[in-house]
Chain A
Amino acid sequence: MAFQILDVVNFLIVFPFIMAVLVFIQKNASALRNTTIILGGFTIMAAAIYVAVNVLTAPDVSSFVYLKETHLPDKIVIGGEIFLMCLVCFLSIKYKKYYAILFSLAGTIPVLWMDLTGKAVEGNTHIRIDTFAAVMYLIVGVVGILICIYASGYMKDYHHHHIDVQDRSNYFLALMFVFLGAMFGLISSDNLGWIYFFWEITSVCSFLMIGYTRSTEAVDNSFRALWMNLLGGCGFAAGLMVCNMGFSISNLSQVTSTNNKLLIVPVTLFAFAALTKSAQFPFSRWLLGAMVAPTPSSALLHSATMVKIGVYMLIRVSPVMYNTLTGIMITVIGGFTFFAASLLAITVSDGKKVLAYSTISNLGLITACAGTGTPEGVWAAVMLVLFHAVSKSLLFQTVGDIENCMGSRDIEDMHGLIIKLPRLAFIMMIGICGMFMAPFGMLVSKWAALKSFVDSGSVWLVLFLVFGSGSTLFYWAKWLGKICTVIHQSFELEDITPRSELVSIFPLTSLIIIMCFAFPWMSGHMVQPILDEAFHTNIPDVISGSDVIIMMIMVVMVFMLPIGSRFLSLGKNSKMSMSYVAGVNAGDDRHYIDSFGKERALYMSNWYMTDYFGEKKLLWPSIWVAAILVAVMLIVVVGGAI
């Protein structure tokens, strides 16, 4: 082996921080900065893929555990925690949001006390790279880095359009790399204290990114994100202390391998923390507020990093939750979130907001899958994480580009996008199809989720899932329809998408299509080993061979259709006419001549049904219902144990 895996892992954790410094010192957007980002980014991506491939092809992954002696890194971790706490305190005082200090102190001080008084359990390995970590490496390394590269071009255009915002793009890009470094650290760590440290970095990082524009709205939203995530951090800290001091357990892998019924208490606390990170109801509002920040941060938070940490933790502890009250409550909260968020997504027309609700909704599904604690549930959860990361980051990036080209990200303004911006429209169509259509990955994973819910007898979840599928279909398809609308006498807009963004968008688009075909291989080589590790048994194939063949046929059909029709020159002999408007079509499908001979404008808006599912009606009740569920879970499980 050319490189030791440990060295590469260390490089992956440390190098993004170095990259952050390198980017930060280059204040203005320049060719040099872009080159730095692209070179550094691809180095990180290559390293991540190298580790992942090595781990995935290794016969025995249990050998990839490292670091018994961690004197120096531990000091860095403690120092880092103190720094984060001080930073939060300083900014809270600066913006007069004193409550954030409370959450920060409550989470950090007890952990520091435990570490410094030597009550923490020592002597275990701190780093562990298993198959699940390798899969997450791929997500963070490929999708996360592509978003960073996208951001380098995007931020220039962003400041071109938003002159009122002070240009601190170096700071923003640096934060993105810090975020990725923290992600690699979190995935690689097995020690709970270290996970907690990286967990807090991501919380603070997302807070800083959301507040980038420093407008009142941005500051408010960023502090909302901060307090919710710090609250989750408190839950994590409590779980960590219970593990260390109550059970003498310092590592995450021990939590799942130790057979002790009382361990459900820290697991519940971790699950609570995961709910805040994954923006499940009642904590969804921070993710909805996060869209005030420039698009790359949304893409990063929604697809490869922030919200995926929550479900990562849930999937890790999933086997422990099997058939427990915690598991049931987590599945119910997840299922409820899936359904409620998909209804809410119907009612909004801001493209980014629809994507935000759809993230919350899909994360709900993943949460629910993990909560069942069955192998099939975990299978579906991991698959959903993979497909969601790729599709969602592509969608966010395209919406960002459309906004840069047209000056709006409202779905109503995307009317006729296929004529105005054909390239972006096609990419967007693939992204949307990837989220809900039949042969594409998300739907296949949903199918497995359905099977797992039926097998584990979670009837309520089945009901949530089938009704949620209906509303999911509605909001995606109407968006797709808006894009597909062909309007006559309309002209192509100038597509000003810079090359650095295309460097990111094209690979992601190809990935969605490749993953359709590679799906059986991914199931066999990436997800099955995770199940074997998590459940220590061999799991039979979740989807049978004949179904895979039929799905392949469907994928081929979907892609053959446009090609075939061009080849056969279908419809070449048809007569062209204008659409029927019950009057005289004025020639462009958007005006008609009424009975008085006047020309009138004609426009068909989409349905939003705000009277029935509007945010005003549905958001707060959903939050309260979910808050009660969370409270019940915490009181019964944690309180019951005391």
Chain B
Amino acid sequence: MIEINFAIKAILYIVLAPLIGGFLSGTDRLFAARMQGRQGPPIVQPFYDVNKLLSKQTTVVNSIQILFVTGYLIMTVFTGALFFAGGDMLLVFFALSMSEVMMVMAAYSTNGPYSTMGAQRELLQMMCYEPMTLLVAIGFYYAHGSFMVSDLIKADTPAILQLPGFFIGFVFILIIKLRKSPFDLSTSHHMHQEMVKGLTTDLSGSNLAFVEIAEWYDTVLMMGIVGMFFITSSPLSRIWALIACAVVFFIETLIDNIFPRVKYITMLKVTWSVILIFAGTNLLILNVLKQF
């Protein structure tokens, strides 16, 4: 019975996540436009975009590129499904970094200067946020004694009470994960920059659409982890989780529009310091409390 329950949750995620992710992406563009005093595209614009990409002829630079991009999409979907089905948090993050490596390899394989530059920057970004994603899993383990998502959502108190530092750290690295300025080093979503489109420069047609869809899945997964900080066994907590996700998403868009992009070394120093100061201190305190 439990397995069927897991499977239903995983399938729900696989079906619904692109819809939610697409709308989130549309909302993001609308927010950004309004902040800049523009009308902005309709909220369903990302679906139009992806639809058009899918109908275009795909141009590839080499034959293994498509292998890596497909791998990236499949692994990202797998990662999210594992999370929403109630799997092991650490395993989720390991699978996540694996899918990211696939994407980086796709860019590397092209040998294009912009793709390669984007790939290296993407790797650096991973190096910046990897400690935090692992720490989030460890934080939950400290707070509720399990790595399994299915156990964590049955908690009596919201995890945020014990893990405020982890939450701040995670929201901070979400800037990188959601590819927001000042840390959008690898793809440069803002136009007219020296990177062209970085990581995705040499992708087109359905390959590019796959990457877009994978990023929608990824966004939903990230929001799910944000929600995890608030969810308890009481149904009411789910509303809090949704509100928290909305607020965090809004903050990310706001940051995106306020800050200009920084140099890589600044990103490395700032993110590692933030992780060490907030999550590290939080972890030390939790450990001391656990002794008593």
The chain A residues found within 8 Å of chain B, CB to CB, are 416, 418, 437-439, 443, 447, 450-451, 454, 457, 459, 462-463, 465-467, 469-471, 473-474, 477-478, 480-482, 484-488, 546-547, 550-551, 554, 557, 561-562, 565, 570-571, 573-582, 589-590, 602, 604, 606-607, 612
Contacts and interface: CB of A to CB of B under 8 A. Distances in A.
21 contacts: A447-B91, A451-B90, A459-B283, A463-B283, A470-B130, A470-B131, A473-B123, A473-B126, A474-B123, A474-B126, A474-B127, A481-B105, A484-B105, A486-B64, A550-B87, A550-B88, A557-B74, A557-B75, A576-B62, A578-B61, A589-B111
Interface of B: 57-68, 70-71, 74-75, 78, 82, 87-88, 90-91, 94-95, 97-98, 101, 104-105, 108-117, 119-120, 123-124, 126-132, 134-135, 138, 141-142, 147, 196, 201-202, 205, 265, 272, 276, 280, 283-284, 287, 290-291
A571 B141 CA distance: 43
B280 to A, nearest CB: 6
B91 A551 contact: yes
B101 A437 contact: yes
Contacts of B201: 579-580
Nearest to B119: A481
B28 to A, nearest CB: 26
Contacts of B124: 474, 607
Given A437-B98, A557-B75, 7 more contacts: A469-B134, A481-B105, A486-B111, A550-B91, A562-B67, A576-B60, A580-B114
A582 B94 contact: no
Nearest to B60: A574
A477 B101 contact: yes
A607 B265 CA distance: 12
Nearest to B63: A571
A580 B196 contact: yes
Contact of A450 (B87, B113, B138, B272): B138
B108 A485 contact: yes
Nearest to A457: B287
A486 B61 contact: yes
Given A454-B142, A550-B87, A466 B120 contact: no
A443 B94 contact: yes
Contact of B112 (A551, A562, A579, A612): A579
Nearest to B283: A459
Contacts of B131: 463, 466-467, 469-470
A477 B123 contact: yes
B94 A438 contact: yes
Contacts of A470: 126-131
Contacts of A579: 61, 110-113, 115, 201-202
B58 A574 contact: yes
Contacts of A576: 59-62
B60 A486 contact: no
Contact of B58 (A454, A462, A571): A571
B265 A577 contact: no
A466 B130 contact: yes
B60 A577 contact: yes
B4 to A, nearest CB: 14
Nearest to A490: B111
B252 to A, nearest CB: 21
A467 B127 CA distance: 8
The 4 closest A-B pairs by CB, nearest first: A579-B112, A481-B108, A571-B66, A470-B130
